[in-house]
Structure 1
Amino acid sequence: MHTTTPTVIITGASSGIGLAIAETFLAQGYNVVGNARNAARLEQTLAALNCGERFLAVAGDIAEPNTARQLVTHAVQRFGRIDVLVNNAGVFIAKPFIEYDQGDIAQLIATNLMGTVNASQAVAAQMIKQGSGRIVNVTASIALQPLQRVPSAIPILIKGGLNQLTRALALELAPHNIQVNAVAPGLIDTPMHTPETHEFLCGLQPAGRIGRPQEIADAVLHLSQAGFTSGAILPVDGGMSSGVW
């Protein structure tokens, strides 16, 4: 089913920010290829969206290179091209630096770092063939401005590296008409944060509240369509990255 409708691949698409991004792109008329590790949860998402053939679910761990290759293969077979990649899949483990164990570090590297690298490599190769494309990485505001009250040095290390990867790829891929940007969310109301933590989290925000997934989705959509923006890191964090308060 090759169409002229633009196509977006979204990792971590089954809940929270990823689900909001999928809903937003569908509302804008895009075909969506959604990825998540949990196949059953992804199928539930597909059923809830009720968008017919415009959503293609591809389950698998994006930390595995083969999953990224399958995403590209299925997207091109079904829709003919890939216009946007949103690297959204991620985990967050906050604890004092000396308490991180090898399991924590391996999980953060696998999902946050290698998931982005694998998807970006596979999709960029297709976009180079096409002669155009947009990549939007979802990083983290805390990588721009660490918080003493939320010790999280290893996620900061990796997400900060993804910010720099964004800038490096913006330069490297510019000759191929591929733009690369990032959205750096602050604290967002997702299933990652239980309701009993919200009061504490709101106290960490200069804006006095936590963000909504839709606010991140709107920023991702903007960067996916901005015609003269590349290498930008856009904080959507209620002012958190402006400094200590």
Structure 2
Amino acid sequence: MKKQTIVVAGELSGIGKSIARLFLDKGDNVVLNSVNTDKITQLFHELGGGGNLAVVASNVSDRVTGIKLLATAVAKFGSVDVLVNNAGVFETKPFFHVDEGYLDRFLDTNLKGPFLITQGIIPQMLKQGKGIVINIGMPLINPIRGGAPGAAVLAPKGAVHALTLQLAAEFGEYNISFNTVTPGIDSKSMHAATEEFIAGMHLSERTAEVQDIAQMVYAIAKKNL
């Protein structure tokens, strides 16, 4: 298959790392982003630190991050073929206990991040005449028995679904596709200590596997070549 340049923005401990590793293993170029400089440097070396890997340490909720990611990808690899918006924070808190500061945390990471990163990358895709954007979302119908108190998480992620549909309508004529992958809770990266408990809360009796999610992202990226 044709080599692509993939930008993976956001969390890198589970889903993001698995996505990056799969594309690298398949011979693609990857640009990684995380707010934690030490963490992203460590991951750079963990993934082999080769010539087809680049990293950018910056916060997804900062508008300049998308610009930095684009500049790095174009300077090193000449294009941005796929953007994976993987930024996400997951916690549960009863609705009436959510204050404005707590809500802002999820709005900034789970919605503002993908919005601004996409704004930064889309101009290059328009210039190229093609591109693929894949947002990592969350099921809008709560898959958890009893409806775990996650309004602060689900509301911004629901907005990401709406954003995906709207941008598909706006930019589809320019050969840019927009997609949302909606895994369940990934306990391996976010809640490892409570994996069995969280698996039991899902109707499917299992949590998402990061390798499965990465394969889905890869399939979408290659199908839309």
Please, what TM-score do these two structures have when normalized by structure 1?
0.86
Give how far 1:210 is off. 1.5
Give how far 1:28 is off. 1.6
CA deviations 1:181-223 (Å, max 9, x no partner) are 000010223231032x122211122332222111111111112
Pairs within 5 Å for 1:229-244: none
**Corresponding position: 1:95 with 2:110:** no
| Selected match of 1:206 from 180, 199, 203 | 203
1:83 partner letter:
D
Number of matched residues?
A: 223
2:199 partner letter:
C
State the match for 2:169 in structure 1. Answer: 171
Tell me: CA distance 1:11–1:55, structure 2 relative to 1, closer, same or farther (3 Å).
Answer: same
Looking at structure 2, the residues matched to 18 and 199 of structure 1 have their Cα atoms a distance apart, in angstroms, of: 22
**Corresponding position: 1:70 with 2:61:** no
State the match for 1:45 in structure 2. Answer: 43
8 Å CA contact retained: 2:143, 2:202? no
**Corresponding position: 1:8 with 2:6:** yes
State the match for 2:126 in structure 1. Answer: 128
8 Å CA contact retained: 2:130, 2:175? yes
CA deviations 1:5-59 (Å, max 9, x no partner) are 3100001253111000100111121100000000110010010111411110100
State the match for 2:28 in structure 1. Answer: 30
Tell me: CA distance 1:78–1:62, structure 2 relative to 1, closer, same or farther (3 Å).
Answer: same
8 Å CA contact retained: 1:146, 1:156? no
Gaps of 5+ in 1: 229-245
State the match for 1:54 in structure 2. Answer: 52
Give how far 1:146 is off. 5.8
**Corresponding position: 1:215 with 2:198:** no
Give how far 1:149 is off. 3.8
| Selected match of 2:111 from 94, 113, 126 | 113
Looking at structure 2, the residues matched to 226 and 103 of structure 1 have their Cα atoms a distance apart, in angstroms, of: 40
1:161 partner letter:
A
State the match for 2:16 in structure 1. Answer: 18
Tell me: CA distance 1:63–1:192, structure 2 relative to 1, closer, same or farther (3 Å).
Answer: same
Looking at structure 1, the residues matched to 36 and 185 of structure 2 have their Cα atoms a distance apart, in angstroms, of: 24
Provide the secondary structure at the position in 2 that maps to 1:35.
Answer: strand
CA deviations 1:50-106 (Å, max 9, x no partner) are 141111010000100011111101111111100000000111121111111222111
Provide the secondary structure at the position in 1 that maps to 2:180.
Answer: strand
**Corresponding position: 1:144 with 2:141:** yes
Identity of aligned residues (%): 36
Looking at structure 2, the residues matched to 68 and 30 of structure 1 have their Cα atoms a distance apart, in angstroms, of: 20
Please, what TM-score do these two structures have when normalized by structure 2?
0.94
State the match for 2:223 in structure 1. Answer: 226
8 Å CA contact retained: 1:34, 1:58? yes
1:95 partner letter:
K
8 Å CA contact retained: 2:63, 2:116? yes
1:166 partner letter:
T
Looking at structure 2, the residues matched to 145 and 206 of structure 1 have their Cα atoms a distance apart, in angstroms, of: 10
1:69 partner letter:
I
What is the aligned-residue RMSD (CA, Å)? 1.6
